[in-house]
Chains A and B, each alone.
Chain A
Amino acid sequence: MYRHIHALQQVARRTISSSVRRQLDNKVQNKQKLFQEDNGIPVHLKGGVSDALLYRTTMMLTVVGAGYVVYELVKAAFPRNKT
C-alpha cells in the first residue's frame, strides 16, 4: 500500500515541478532581445500594444484629472451661493 502512495507522491511531485518549470522559465534573454531591438521606439512603449493602451489610459486620466482639479479650485474660490 505504501508503494502506491510513494508512487503517487512521485507523480505529483514530477507534475507539479514540471508545470512550475513550464510557467517560470528564464525568459530574460527573450526580453533582452525584444527591448534591445533597434526600432526607435521609446522604452515605455517598446513592449507592444498593451504598453500603448496603458499609456493612453494613464494620460487620459492625467489630463481629465488636471482639468477636474482646476474646475474644483475655481468652484471653491468663487462660491456660487448668493443668499
Chain B
Amino acid sequence: MAHQAHAYHMVDPSPWPLTGAISALLMTSGLATWFVYKTTTLLFLGTTLLLLTMFQWWRLIIRESTFQGHHTTPVQKGLRYGMVLFITSEVFFFIGFFWAFYHSSLAPAIELGGLWPPTGITPLDPFEVPLLNTAVPLASGVTVTWAHHSIMEGARKPALQSLTLTVLLGLYFTALQAMEYYEAPFTLADGVYGCTFFVATGFHGLHVIIGTTFSMVCLLPHTHYHFTSNHHFGFDAAAWYWHFVAVVWLFLYISIYWWGS
C-alpha cells in the first residue's frame, strides 16, 4: 500500500457530490412544477435524494476522520477555514435582507402612508412571544457552550444532557415561531412590511431548523464515543453555526420586531 509523504487528505472518489447536485436540480425544478402544474413528484424525489446524499456523505466523512484518521491538524485547519467562510457567506446572505428592510423602513414611501409600520399594519408586540423567542436562543447559546466544555473535559453525561437541551430549545423556538406565523395579523402579501418581515424571519427560521438538525446529528457520534476531548470538529462546527443563528435573531429582533414597530 502506497503511503503519502504529506499530511493532507486526498479523498477517494465518491458519488455523493453528483447525487447532491442532481437532488438540487430535482428540488428546484420540482418547485417549479409544483407552482405551475400542482404536481409534487419531482419535489418529493429531490428531497428524498437530498436526504440520502446527506446521510451517506456525512457518514463518509465520519469514516474518513474517526475510523481512518485522515483529519490531521492541517486538514482540520482547512475544515475550520471552510466553515468560517461558509458562515461568513451566510452573514452576507442575511445582510441583503436587512438592507431591503432598512431601505423600505427608513424612508417609508407615500404609498405606505409615509410612516413605518405602514398604515393598516398591526405589528406584533415585541415584548410578548418575540421576547420569549429571544430568551430561548440566548439560553441555547449557554447550553451549547456547556456541552462544549463538557466534551473538552471528557464529561460524557453532562455533554449529552446539555446537547439534548440545546436541541430541545431549538425545537421550542421553531414551535413558537410557527405559532406566531399562524396568529400574525398580517401576511407575506401585505406589501413591503409583510414581505421584509416574513422573508427575513422565514429564512432565519429555516436556518434554525438546519442548526437544530446539525446539533441533533452531533448527538449520534457523541453517544458512539467518536468525539475526543481535543478533537471534535463536527461539534465545533455545529456550535459555531448555532451561535451565528442566535446572533442573526438578535439583529432581527432589534431591527424588525422592536425598532420596526
Question: Interface on chain B toward A: helix, strand, loop, or mixed SS?
Answer: helix
A44–B19 Cα distance when bound, in Å, is: 13
Q: How far is the CA of A57 from the CA of B25 in the complex (A)?
A: 18
Check B64–A54 contact: CB distance below 8 A.
no
The yes or no answer to B213 lying at the interface (CB within 8 A) is no
CB distance from A48 to the nearest CB of B (A): 12
Give bound CA distance, A55 to B59, whole Å: 12
C-alpha spacing A31/B62, complex, angstroms: 11
Cβ of B234 to closest chain A Cβ, rounded Å: 14
| B38 interfacial contact with A, CB 8 Å | no
Given A43-B14, A44-B12, A59-B19, also A36-B49 (CB < 8 A): no
Query: Is A1 an interface position by the 8 A CB rule?
Result: no
**Interfacial chain B residues near A73, Cβ < 8 Å:** 29
Are B15 and A44 closer than 8 Å at their CB atoms?
Answer: yes
B67 touches A35 (CB 8 A): yes
> Which B residues are within 8 Å of any A CB, using their own CB?
1, 12-16, 18-19, 22-23, 25-26, 29, 33, 36, 41-42, 45-46, 48-49, 52-53, 56, 60, 63-64, 66-69, 223-226
Could you list some 30 contacts between A and B, CB below 8 A?
A: A24-B223, A28-B67, A28-B225, A31-B63, A32-B67, A32-B68, A32-B69, A34-B67, A35-B63, A36-B68, A36-B69, A42-B13, A44-B16, A54-B56, A61-B19, A61-B45, A61-B48, A61-B49, A62-B22, A62-B23, A64-B45, A65-B25, A65-B26, A65-B45, A66-B26, A68-B41, A69-B25, A69-B42, A72-B29, A76-B33
